[in-house]
Structure 1
Amino acid sequence: MTTSRPVARILGFGGAVIATSLAAAAAPTPLYHHYAAAWGGRFSDGAFAYALYAGTVLLAIACAGIFVDRVGVRKVVSAALGAQIVALLLLATASSFVIVDVARGLQGVATGLAIVPLGALMVESSYRWGAVISAAAPGLGTGVGALSAAAVVQAVAEPAAVVYLVFAPLVVVQLAMVRWAVPPDRVLPPTLGIAVPSFPTTGKGAFTVVALLLLGAWGLAGYLGSAWPMSSQEILSTSFVGIESVPLAATTITGAAAALALRRVRRASLSLLTSAALVTAGGVFWAGVTLANDVMIVGAAALAGLGFGGAMLTAAKAVRQCRAADVVPATAMTYLLCYGGMAFAALGAGFALDVGSDAREVAGAVLIAVTALAALAGGGALVLDRR
């Protein structure tokens, strides 16, 4: 890019699309109880829908580089936004979990096809701000989506249609802006052999630390977005409906702020800070679960946001330092790790609840996994820093 205006367009548009996609994906978080009350169902119904979304994101991420190689960013992003609109309309009119599952699968494909090319294009366009915005946008979008949906659930008798139709017009506007924001010649390196997600060819030790942090941070987010809304009332005595969505929003919005605030921190120091935040948050969250204290749980979720944002920023910095040929596959691998952690946590927690496991025990198992991954990442970062 030779002028600042096209770069600003790419950064603004890319950040907006990623944030909106993640906001729309988080919108069902407070609706699972509404669905269960209307249609009946089990804990795993909501968890399966969430994991299906994450799984189809993974599939789309694996294919996104190939599609970009073939037709370019503009057409891939346009197709992704069109699919997102269809998914939102299906969710707005859903009358069973089957339709929700179909829509969530389509939504996952749309999200995966959008975030990989736009994330890579943002980093390619601006060495500094592309990494920061691509790290902050997912958390901001997820948090805003969860909070806005929770507000609608508390204010409207039949919230489902309203929640999704809030986001659909935004996606329509973004679809209309693709030709303006993405120049037609933006076809990322046409190297089909590296189009699939992979670790960069250099710095694999540092990227392994990134992988552990992403699995832990997004695993916690996956639990908070799926099993937690279905089981929070068993853990807490509060009647505040928003407690189903507030922990996820606290984690992701704090994460977006952390990605902006910590952008100048050295990557090794950032890895250690991220690890410490996730380990501490896991302990505080478990104390809140044990004491049935919603204030402690929300506080722990906000502290986990420091780890969430730190993990995303650490990953973005790692991608930014890759060779040009590694940018697309490393970006894809970043999101593959994010959604892999999310899907595993959502499915594991949902099915554990289905077979009768205590909600507190399930929360404890998730928190142990998160803290273990974070501690391993911290240890790895210390070893690499001393070399």
Structure 2
Amino acid sequence: MVQTADTCLDQRHTRSGIALLASTLLSFLAASSAPTPLYPVYQAHWAFSPAMLTLVFAIYAFSLLAALLTLGKLSDYLGRRPVILAALLLEMLAMALFIEADGVGWLLAARVMQGFATGMATSVLGAALLDRNPERGPLFNSVAPQLGMACGALGCGMLVEWAPWPLHLVYLVLLLVFAAQALLLWWLPESISRRPGALASLRPTLRVPPQARGALWRTLPVNVAVWSLGGFYLSLAPSLIRAATGSNSALVGGLAVTALTLSGALSILWLRQHTAQQVLRIATTLLLIGVGAMLVAVQAGWLWLFLLASLVAGGGFGSGFLGALRSVMPLAHAHERAGLMATYYVISYLAFCVPALLAGVMARHFGLVATATGFATVLIGLTLVALIGLARRDHA
């Protein structure tokens, strides 16, 4: 009986630890998408161009990459809890900067701080989830960011439309959430032992275990496609909707991002029992249909079709994320997980921010509708490459 009680207690601790880690990852990604519905509002208040808007978005991603390159492996040496706590404290500071922002300079500073905090958090939280459940860890790592981005975009859009202090309230709510998670972290057991080499791990390196390199290369086309789509939505979708359909609602912009990310989360749950290869085939098919429909919606100015296309493309977004993650991450050993997770996110966030930044620059010269058309065409081509690669692997 004592053994059974101890086992039940350990299981409860494991479940509560997974819940805390997954909810913290969800909160970080919710905070990352929260500014998206506000971008047109910021533009109206502070009069900056689409190129500056994508710089605000991209500087977040670049600072996130800097954190991944320098701190992504740190928790493999110091343990998970200290790095998670440091990321939470930095994120709370970023929320305070958003609350105080009264110009684009403050917005840039807040996004830099937020990107660095999120870069610290994504690799360590992803590794910590894998520590506690190696089988379902990739599922948690896939669903939590998707749900987080959906909650952040939709929640912010609703607060902007119907609540007071539209430029501040969402960040105050998030600040309180992060403070509560930092307090709860003290009850989270450490999942990995300390080891020497923490200082050396700060040297910017990309580390992929030999046994995972082939899988990483094979999933690269679909991974680039889904993250490029996500970056475009989180930076320019609300402005594109305004330009293509004439809708000025911040809530509509939030709904577009929510449609993409929420259907992504649902597709992950739906496909969680399928093999990685099956998931990737479904992902590429949904991406082709969804991005093609989005292209038609932008040309015709149909908001309803844009939102429907976002739902379909979101299925490809989520399943592509799951398929790539499931193909790569289980191949790493325990002390390789944070390093591989950091490398995976470096590649992913380069695809997330660089195409979006280029799109913002091009929009200044050619307009958002023409830029979105070109962007969608490139995504369709990249997805076709991924689909052909999967077909060849099936027949090999």
Task: Tell me the TM-score normalised to structure 2 length.
Answer: 0.91
Shift of 1:345: 2.4
**Conserved 8 A contact 2:142-2:322:** yes
Shift of 1:375: 1.7
> Which residue identity is paired with 1:347?
L
> Which one of 118, 131, 136 corresponds to residue 129 of structure 1?
136
Counterpart in the other structure of 2:110 = 103
298-307 vs 185-194, which deviates more? Answer: 185-194
Q: Aligned runs of 1:307-318 on 2, under 5 Å?
A: 307-318=316-327
Distance 1:344 1:44 in 2: 12
**Conserved 8 A contact 2:238-2:250:** no
Shift of 1:379: 1.6
Counterpart in the other structure of 2:99 = 92
> Which one of 314, 320, 324 corresponds to residue 305 of structure 1?
314
Distance 1:67 1:270 in 2: 31
Question: SS in structure 1 opposite 2:331?
Answer: coil
**Conserved 8 A contact 2:79-2:190:** no
CA RMSD of aligned residues (A): 2.1
> Which one of 97, 110, 115 corresponds to residue 122 of structure 2?
115
Q: Aligned runs of 1:22-33 on 2, under 5 Å?
A: 22-33=29-40
Query: Measured at CA, do residues 195 and 37 of structure 1 come closer, stay the same or move farther in structure 2, by a change above 3 Å?
Result: closer
Counterpart in the other structure of 1:250 = 259
The alignment status of 1:75 with 2:75, answered yes or no, reads no
> Which one of 52, 55, 65 corresponds to residue 72 of structure 2?
65
Q: Aligned runs of 1:137-148 on 2, under 5 Å?
A: 137-148=144-155
303-312 vs 223-232, which deviates more? Answer: 223-232
Question: SS in structure 2 opposite 1:238?
Answer: coil
Question: SS in structure 1 opposite 2:366?
Answer: coil
**Conserved 8 A contact 1:225-1:245:** no
Shift of 1:258: 1.2
Distance 1:326 1:69 in 2: 8
The structure with more radius of gyration = 2
The alignment status of 1:274 with 2:283, answered yes or no, reads yes
263-272 vs 176-185, which deviates more? Answer: 176-185
Distance 1:176 1:34 in 2: 33
> Which residue identity is paired with 1:88?
M
Shift of 1:129: 1.8
Counterpart in the other structure of 1:204 = 213
**Conserved 8 A contact 1:73-1:187:** no
The alignment status of 1:290 with 2:263, answered yes or no, reads no
Distance 2:375 2:171 in 1: 29
Query: Measured at CA, do residues 386 and 294 of structure 1 come closer, stay the same or move farther in structure 2, by a change above 3 Å?
Result: same
Deviation string for 1:295-331 (max 9, x for gaps)?
1111111111111111221133123431305422321
Distance 1:377 1:333 in 2: 20
**Conserved 8 A contact 2:30-2:152:** yes
**Conserved 8 A contact 1:213-1:374:** yes
> Which one of 361, 374, 381 corresponds to residue 372 of structure 1?
381
> Which one of 38, 42, 45 corresponds to residue 49 of structure 2?
42
> Which one of 337, 342, 351 corresponds to residue 341 of structure 1?
351
Counterpart in the other structure of 2:175 = 168
Shift of 1:273: 0.8
Deviation string for 1:273-311 (max 9, x for gaps)?
111111111111001111111111111111111111112
Counterpart in the other structure of 2:362 = 352
Which blocks of at least 5 consecutive residues in structure 1 are unaligned? none
Shift of 1:125: 2.0
The alignment status of 1:222 with 2:252, answered yes or no, reads no
Task: Tell me the TM-score normalised to structure 1 length.
Answer: 0.93
Deviation string for 1:138-186 (max 9, x for gaps)?
1100011000111111114540111211111110011111121242755
Which blocks of at least 5 consecutive residues in structure 2 are unaligned? 1-6
**Conserved 8 A contact 1:65-1:328:** yes
Question: SS in structure 2 opposite 1:14?
Answer: helix
Distance 2:13 2:165 in 1: 42
Question: SS in structure 2 opposite 1:245?
Answer: helix
